[in-house]
Amino acid sequence: MAGGSPALPSKPCAHCGRPIVWRRKWERCWDEVRYCSDACRRARKSARHDSLERAILALIAERRPGASICPSEAARAVSPEAWRELMEPARQAARRLALAGEILITQGGRPVDPGTFKGPIRLRAAARRDEDRGVEDADVHGVFDDVVG
Ligand SMILES: [Zn+2]
């Protein structure tokens, strides 16, 4: 009891991005555990999920820097008719991309934990430190322009 039990290890599901918390049955194969459920293991093989990831990245790339998209836009891009069925898969694709560092999931303009958020989300390009790097990049380009011009 003293000090309580240490937190169990966890890692994100390779499909839905939600945390998988260590269980005793995985004692010998924890490193190989990639999915939180059989449903996620099966779903990962569907090409549609990769399409959603590509749609999210493409939509974000089209926006001006710092602008965000709604996951439903990616769902509509993949299937204009059946996009509602793709809402949860789109959110899962967003989790995967966020966990890979490709995008940020935000609520109210603030990044949230991709594994545990609840409620409506928006997606934007991963932070490239708009304040630091952005300004620095602009300065570099300015100098370069001066030299060339
Ligand atoms: Zn899962």
Expressed in angstroms and rounded, the spacing between residue 82 Cα and the centre of ligand 1 is: 22
pLDDT at 137: 41
What DSSP string describes 69-87?
E-HHHHHHHH-SSSGGGGH
The class level of CATH for 47-131 reads mainly alpha
Expressed in angstroms and rounded, the spacing between residue 40 Cα and the centre of ligand 1 is: 5
Whether 4 has a pLDDT exceeding 80, the answer reads no
Expressed in angstroms and rounded, the spacing between residue 30 Cα and the centre of ligand 1 is: 15
Q: What is the pLDDT of residues 63-107, one digit of tens each?
A: 988 899 999 999 999 999 999 999 999 999 999 999 999 999 999
Amino acid sitting at position 114 = P
pLDDT at 127: 65
133 Cβ partners below 8 Å, 6+ apart?
none
Expressed in angstroms and rounded, the spacing between residue 60 Cα and the centre of ligand 1 is: 24
Report how far residue 131's alpha carbon sits from residue 51's, in angstroms, rounded to the nearest whole number.
Answer: 32
Expressed in angstroms and rounded, the spacing between residue 105 Cα and the centre of ligand 1 is: 18
